């Protein structure tokens, strides 16, 4: 620890990265229109296109979703840096290695962009602690968004200028005549992400999120989520829940990835009713069905699904 870093004792130790919410969640897919249709069922509206790449911005309420169908990797920042997802190599995560991931038909969660107080400071802190940098390769006049590698082939971006202006004003062109701030269906907001992890990997990933971001673990008696499996962490600002789930060794490939997004809702049955009216179907079995705690949509394209989680009052 250099003397300079010692002076950063002023940093809030309970929120060492200065997390302030989720800027966007990015999906990658070879079939952006198919994914776009599903997002529209879920209440999102396409509002802008990337200036130079096959990338679309969807929004509802305070949630931004990016669909990336660009054949390279990543969004504006860090693209082409090279993360290869390799189930064959038995883990998926290969930060820093190899060629661009080929796009698959089934959408995958490719990145979480986190709002932080100071993106450069957050990025530097993460690297000091042993995170892997995502090499930056931006086109002229595009934003440079610092990032680290997350689970599998995913990235974690750090965005800090969300108060002063919209990062999308730089790289995106609004779709003409489209409401730029469509309201959220049934007040939906980000709740978190379900992360699938390898066997015996729970403690590793808990340490990753605790040490770098200051996540804390919710107790066993937590009443969140539609499925009781795994362990749940929450970010220091309360904006992001992560549910870590180890595989059933007999039934799962064990590949590590971000599996699905969960939305928070004040009233889950009401939100489910509103989404059903839009054409969304929910899993209804004896074990798993729409109830006041949560709900799980049926899956599209063999794996894309969304979860609703009861949450009292919007976070921050």
Partner 1 sequence: MYIRDFGLDTITLAGTLPGKLAAIREAGFSQVMLSARDLATHAGGVDDAVRIVKASGLRVTGFQVLRDFEGLSGHLHGYKVDVAKSMIEMCTALGCRVLLACSSTSQHATGDPDAIARDLRKLAMLALPHRIKVAYEGLSWGRHINEFTTAWQAVVRADMPNLGLGIDSYHIFATKTPLAALADLDAEKIFLVQLSDFMWNEVRTPEERMATARTFRVFPGEGVHTADLAGLVVRLDRMGYAGDYSFEVFNDDYQAMPMATVAARGHRAAAWLAEDVLRRAVPLPNAGRLRPLTTREPF
For helices 202-213 and 119-129, angle between their N-to-C axes, nearest 10 degrees: 140
Q: Between 16 and 264, name the residue whose CB sits nearer to partner 1.
A: 16
Q: Between 94 and 171, name the residue whose CB sits nearer to partner 1.
A: 94
Question: Counting contacts by CB under 8 A, is residue 303 touching partner 1?
Answer: no
| x/- map, 106-145, partner 1, by CB under 8 A | ----------------------xxxxx-------------
Q: Establish how many alpha carbons lie within 13 A of residue 176's alpha carbon, considering only the half-sphere containing its beta carbon.
A: 0
Give whole-number Cα distances, 174 to 26, 51, 64, in Å: 18, 10, 14
CB of 254 to partner 1, least distance (A): 8
Question: Counting contacts by CB under 8 A, is residue 284 touching partner 1?
Answer: no
Question: Counting contacts by CB under 8 A, is residue 99 touching partner 1?
Answer: no
Q: Which of 5, 204, 284, 291 binds partner 1 (CB under 8 A)?
A: 204
CB of 128 to partner 1, least distance (A): 8
Stretch that binds partner 1, among 62-70, 183-191, 192-200, 259-267 (CB under 8 A): 192-200
Pairing mode, if any, of strands 147-149 and 189-196? unpaired
| x/- map, 244-283, partner 1, by CB under 8 A | -----x----x-x---------------------------
Beta bridge partners of residue 117, listed in sequence order: none
């Amino acid at each position: 620890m250099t003397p300079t870093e010692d002076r950063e004792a002023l940093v809030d130790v309970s929120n060492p990265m200065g997390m302030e919410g989720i800027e966007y969640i990015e999906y990658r897919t070879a079939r952006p229109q198919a994914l776009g249709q599903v997002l529209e069922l879920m209440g999102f509206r396409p509002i802008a296109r990337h200036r130079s790449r096959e990338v679309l911005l969807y929004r509802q309420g305070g949630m931004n979703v990016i669909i990336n169908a660009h054949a390279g990797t990543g969004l504006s920042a860090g693209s082409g840096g090279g993360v290869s997802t390799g189930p064959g190599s038995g883990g998926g995560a290969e930060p820093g290695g190899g060629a661009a991931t080929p796009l698959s038909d089934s959408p995958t969660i490719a990145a979480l962009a986190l709002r932080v107080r100071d993106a450069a400071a957050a990025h530097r802190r993460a690297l000091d602690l042993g995170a892997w940098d995502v090499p930056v390769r931006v086109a002229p006049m595009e934003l440079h968004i610092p990032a680290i590698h997350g689970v599998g082939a995913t990235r974690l971006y750090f965005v800090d200028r969300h108060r002063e202006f919209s990062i999308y004003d730089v790289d995106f062109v609004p779709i003409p005549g489209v409401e730029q701030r469509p309201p959220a269906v049934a007040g939906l907001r980000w709740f978190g992400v379900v992360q699938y992890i390898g066997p015996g990997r729970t403690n590793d990933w808990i340490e990753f999120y605790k040490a770098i971001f200051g996540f804390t673990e919710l107790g066993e008696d937590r009443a969140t989520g539609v499925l009781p499996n795994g362990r749940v962490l929450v970010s220091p600002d309360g904006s992001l829940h992560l549910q870590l789930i180890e595989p059933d060794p007999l039934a799962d490939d064990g590949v590590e990835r971000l599996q699905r997004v969960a939305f928070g809702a004040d009233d889950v049955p009401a939100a489910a009713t509103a989404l059903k009216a839009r054409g969304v179907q929910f899993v209804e079995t004896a074990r798993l069905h729409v109830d006041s705690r949560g709900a799980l949509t049926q899956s599209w394209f063999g794996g894309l699904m969304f979860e609703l989680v009861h949450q009292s009052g919007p976070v921050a």
